[in-house]
Structure 1
Amino acid sequence: MPYLTSAVLAAALCGFILLGLRARWVDGTVDDYITARNSQSGATLGLSFLASGMGAWILFAPPEIGAFVGPVALAGYAIGSALPFIVLGLYGPAIRRALPEGRSIAEFAQACYGTGVRRWVSLVSVAYMACFLAAELTAIGAITALLSDVPPAAVVLGVALSTLAYTVLGGLRASLATDRWQAWLLVALLLIVSSVAFTHLPTMPSVSSMPSAPLSEALSVALTLVIAVTAANLFHQGYWQRVWAAQDAGSLGRGAWLGGGLTIVVVMVIGGLGILAAMSGVELGNPPMPFFALLANAPAWLAMLALVLAVTLVASSVDTLQNAIASLMVSQHEQQGRSLITARWLTVALMLPVVIIALQGLSVLRLFLIADLLCAAIVVPVLLGLWRHMSAMAAIGGGLAGLLGAVLPGWFANGSLEAGLLAATFPGGIPTLGPFLGALCASTLVSVGLAMARRFRAH
């Protein structure tokens, strides 16, 4: 069985390599390498948004939220996962008009506010995406150990090297090409795994109720997830690349709504399995993993399909992140040939520390939450960049206020700055609403306040 599983995984990864390499432009420019400018239809973008946004996290987080907090919080998670696509779909046409030759969120920040804000935005974006990469590769190692006898390190390295093989050579076009197939594959595998796991559920107890936390708690969790996931994913350079990859504004809008709608459906379906697992009374494990608990009563071959599903999920997000990080790091002022070489080597170099971290099997949830909070503190000032009254001072002031706002709820609740700082680093890896809401409200109020003060002074 380990040999069969290894062969199936190898075949899937080789298939992704072939699809990616077929899509590359041999003599493409560095601009095409990192933007595939004006080339993608709405349908392609929709599938790409779905595939690049879905990762191994959907096999862990939505089922657990469904099993322990209930459908209200799960709906918040689904909306939060889809909202970044919708925001870019609505806001993207204005970004394209203001910055027709743009490439990244960092260039958008520079055009609006200057070099200082660009560097800060780039740092936050790279930190977030590096956490995302480490989390995905760590997760596939854990899933491999859980579902098979294949060495986890072999699968981690296999995913990292195979995605590098086509992103280094093919750039964004290769990632977009594989996204289309990976999106259909993950939907098909998810349907098969979910339906078979459902049919092998233990008989429902005669008295069973849907898991649901108190409404106030469920709404708090839902709002926390909407803010955290939306703010963080708006710093996902891979999504910004697709703003300029779209054929036109209409294609971007259609792709965003398609990707967002499919994302909501996928998250709700996989989270619904967690609800069913809790209602059926199966042992959810320690730590709890409702999705994988469902596989305990299913046929052995289903574990192999679930592992292929996990590898597909990870590969689809990893290749997007690899190209996204490289695109942020490439200087637009270098000579074209040298820039393309730089982009390729940076993609390889940035994967080395990420793979090393992933092979340690560490939990990255707390780092993820801290990165989400940094994004929440500055997302509104950045997106307000096209408002004519905004200034670099207003953006910087709003960002600093957002950082302070993240600390204030814990400070007031516990009576000390130290306690506020600790609460803003999420001890135990538990997401709480206070820091996120404080960061978002403070950054918005201060940014808008400083911008309006500048407007009044001008008059």
Structure 2
Amino acid sequence: MFTTMGCGVLTTYTSIGNLGLHPLLVYTLAGAIPILLFAYFGPIIRKKCPEGFILTEWVRQRFGPVTCLYLSFFTCFTMFLFMLGELTAISGIIATMTGLNTTAAVIVECVVTTIYTAMGGFQVSFITDNFQAMFVLIMVIICFLGMGSYIHIDKSMIGPSGLLKANKLGWQLLYILNVAIWTNDAFLSGFWLRAFAAKTDKDLVIGTSIAAFVTFAICTLVGSAGFIAVWTGDLTVGDADSYNAFFILLAKMPKWINVIVLIMAIAWSVCTFDSLQSGMISTISNDVFRNKLHINWIRIGVIILMVPIVVLALKVANSILQIYLIADLVSAALIPAIFLGLSDTYFWYLIGFDVMFGGLGALFAVFIFGCIYYGNARDGGRLLLIWNGIYNPKDWGAFGAFVIAPFGGILLTMASAGTRILYHYIVSRVTGKPFTALDKPEREEQVHEVVEQTDDYGSIDKKAHYEI
């Protein structure tokens, strides 16, 4: 569960920390608490889909293959953005700390992770996770011991800065970031792979609890560099260079600390990147090709996909947080509607078309809202990319987008189901045929039948579910 903490946290959390302790705590709590949800939803989904190992397996079982491919596409899109964000982050860190051209370093990282994940499979990612946690802890401890020794805070600046007070932005982000991160975590195959791999539900609870606490503690410590840099006089509140706050303070410390941080940051990035690679390979292999295409072909495809990721990371991408927010908005639109399907008591009648209509319709609704709010289609389209960010308390565009995405997705899903059921009812009355749109499918029996059927590759043949 520690795998999403890429080295991008060294810039994103300091940026928000530069705006105050209140927004920072909102961000760190919103990043940590959703990890605990896997301890709740993981056992439920494992019970409903015992032969699965990622969320899309349950979606295939519940809603059919088309909806599974729909979710798989956006899952891969999310991991594409996270890989882009990770390479952008490490590129910026190396450039900031050394002043060197980062092209070679980024390419080497991609090559190295590709080689050892190809040799060791996803198991090697589990191993590097343990090293990742160690690297992060060592780096944070050394840095904050260094700050205590070499960084001087002007206490007279603490009160006037207002950074310890609650502010409007913090309350605004309380909603945005919780919706964004809670739903986006569901897109990360690496999380689901680990949730399904847990030996027992108790182990899953323990693992997620530890991960949530460590995530909160480390991200809060890293983000505090944002306001400490204000109190040292190096930055102002809301400074455009706030993403560099951690490294501005680091530059005041001895060179040996800088060297250790650089090494640890690179190792940290590699461990995160291999999890994203493995998650994408697993998703494509299982969901798209049903494990019938040799895994090496999938790896080659992911290698080809890394070419545009490297180019964008080096030449185009600027804001790491914006990259993550694009993925967050997509997940906020899609995931709530899909998770309605977990309830066989209240939402048994939902089908794949309903949740796809709701998710895609919610994204279109965000665009329409943007057109109305900003007064033109250009800015409406930019809202889908969270172009103006989330740091401006006077701009309620992002807040509106993250309200419309989840609630719009649910409402449109229910509207689709209602319209479909009404149509079948009218047809039934006109033709005299039985009205079956609200009949409950016997899912438990069908699941048992499906588990008993395997193909030559040992994977589940869920044909019975396609006909639900």
TM-score bucket (shorter structure) = 0.7 to 0.9
Counterpart of 1:438, as a letter, is I
| Aligned residue runs from structure 1 range 328-343, under 5 A | 328-331=283-286, 339-343=294-298
CA contact (8 A) 1:103 1:244 kept: yes
Shift of 1:420: 3.2
Change over 3 Å in CA distance of 1:364–1:119 after alignment to 2: farther
Partner of 1:320: 275
- Distance in 2 of aligned mates of 1:278 and 1:85: 31
Partner of 2:458: none
CA contact (8 A) 2:38 2:195 kept: yes
Shift of 1:333: 9.1
- Distance in 1 of aligned mates of 2:227 and 2:313: 30
Show CA shifts across 1:392-433 (max 9, x none).
233123213421442354344345555433333322444621
Is residue 369 of structure 1 aligned with residue 320 of structure 2? no
- Distance in 1 of aligned mates of 2:6 and 2:408: 31
Partner of 1:67: 18
SS of equivalent residue, structure 2 residue 18: helix
CA contact (8 A) 1:402 1:440 kept: yes
Counterpart of 1:458, as a letter, is L
SS of equivalent residue, structure 2 residue 124: helix
SS of equivalent residue, structure 1 residue 206: helix
Change over 3 Å in CA distance of 1:239–1:203 after alignment to 2: closer
Is residue 112 of structure 1 aligned with residue 62 of structure 2? yes
Partner of 1:137: 87
CA contact (8 A) 1:211 1:279 kept: no
Change over 3 Å in CA distance of 1:305–1:354 after alignment to 2: same
CA contact (8 A) 1:148 1:304 kept: no
| Aligned residue runs from structure 1 range 79-94, under 5 A | 79-94=29-44
- Distance in 2 of aligned mates of 1:226 and 1:202: 34
Q: Which stretch has the larger CA shift, 212-221 or 224-233?
A: 212-221
- Distance in 2 of aligned mates of 1:332 and 1:344: 15
Change over 3 Å in CA distance of 1:111–1:178 after alignment to 2: same
CA contact (8 A) 2:285 2:293 kept: no
Change over 3 Å in CA distance of 1:89–1:405 after alignment to 2: farther
Counterpart of 1:355, as a letter, is V
- Distance in 2 of aligned mates of 1:359 and 1:252: 38
Partner of 1:41: none
Partner of 2:409: 443
Shift of 1:146: 1.1
Structure 1: state its 5+ residue gaps: 1-48
- Distance in 2 of aligned mates of 1:283 and 1:215: 19
Partner of 1:40: none
Is residue 294 of structure 1 aligned with residue 249 of structure 2? yes
Change over 3 Å in CA distance of 1:286–1:246 after alignment to 2: same
| Aligned residue runs from structure 1 range 28-427, under 5 A | 49-50=1-2, 52-68=3-19, 70-148=20-98, 150-209=100-159, 210-211=162-163, 215-283=167-235, 287-288=241-242, 289-331=244-286, 339-360=294-315, 362-363=317-318, 365=320, 366-388=322-344, 389=347, 390-415=350-375, 419-427=379-387
- Distance in 2 of aligned mates of 1:344 and 1:420: 37
- Distance in 2 of aligned mates of 1:80 and 1:310: 23
CA contact (8 A) 2:70 2:356 kept: no
Show CA shifts across 1:165-197 (max 9, x none).
221111111000111122112111111112202
Counterpart of 1:279, as a letter, is W
Q: How many aligned positions are there?
A: 409
Structure 2: state its 5+ residue gaps: 392-397, 426-436, 440-468
- Distance in 2 of aligned mates of 1:283 and 1:302: 22
Shift of 1:347: 4.0
SS of equivalent residue, structure 2 residue 241: coil
Change over 3 Å in CA distance of 1:333–1:411 after alignment to 2: closer
Change over 3 Å in CA distance of 1:400–1:338 after alignment to 2: closer
- Distance in 2 of aligned mates of 1:123 and 1:364: 24
Larger Rg computed on CA atoms: 2
SS of equivalent residue, structure 2 residue 158: coil
Q: Which stretch has the larger CA shift, 85-94 or 277-286?
A: 277-286
Show CA shifts across 1:352-401 (max 9, x none).
33223333263254444323211110010122222222322331232134
CA contact (8 A) 1:377 1:406 kept: no
Partner of 1:458: 438
Counterpart of 1:293, as a letter, is I
Counterpart of 1:176, as a letter, is F
SS of equivalent residue, structure 2 residue 57: helix
% identity of equivalent residues: 25
- Distance in 2 of aligned mates of 1:262 and 1:175: 19
Q: Which stretch has the larger CA shift, 380-389 or 347-356?
A: 347-356
- Distance in 1 of aligned mates of 2:291 and 2:330: 33
Shift of 1:312: 2.4
- Distance in 2 of aligned mates of 1:417 and 1:334: 38
CA contact (8 A) 1:163 1:315 kept: yes
Q: Which stretch has the larger CA shift, 236-245 or 334-343?
A: 334-343
Partner of 1:29: none
Counterpart of 2:268, as a letter, is L
Shift of 1:318: 0.2
* Larger helix share, 1 or 2: 1
CA RMSD of aligned residues (A): 2.7
SS of equivalent residue, structure 1 residue 119: helix
Show CA shifts across 1:292-320 (max 9, x none).
11112211222112212321221121010
The two structures have a TM-score, normalised by structure 2, of 0.80
Shift of 1:90: 0.7
- Distance in 2 of aligned mates of 1:393 and 1:107: 17
Counterpart of 2:407, as a letter, is C
Change over 3 Å in CA distance of 1:111–1:336 after alignment to 2: closer
